[in-house]
Amino acid sequence: MLSGVCTPNMMFAYVLPGWEGSVADGRVLRDAITRKNGLRVPAGYYYLCDAGYTNGDGFMAPHRIQRYHLATWKGKRPTCPEEYFNNVIV
């Protein structure tokens, strides 16, 4: 498994190879942020992550129980702030 973090212009800012594909996303993230030269989130910034992660310092995941996947948005508009957020980050 290869985990990576991209900048807004889609350039890799951090890559962590070597984990098995069946490992939980949170475990890989915990490893990445606890390494000596690991992933660092600049002060005042957040990385947007997928629904496999939870919200935490420097990380924002989609709102749970709200539409998230692109297929569920086809021809529809957000009906609440949480859906709007999820739609924007997809």
20-78: pLDDT as tens digits: 888 888 888 899 999 999 999 889 988 888 777 888 889 888 877 665 666 666 777 77
Q: Are 1 and 19 in contact (CB under 8 A)?
A: yes
How many CB atoms sit inside 10 A of residue 25's CB?
Answer: 17
pLDDT at 66: 65
Report how far residue 55's alpha carbon sits from residue 10's, in angstroms, rounded to the nearest whole number. Answer: 22
pLDDT at 51: 77
Say if pTM beats, i.e. exceeds, 0.85. Answer: no
Helix (H) or strand (E) holding 17: strand 12-17
Report how far residue 67's alpha carbon sits from residue 70's, in angstroms, rounded to the nearest whole number. Answer: 9
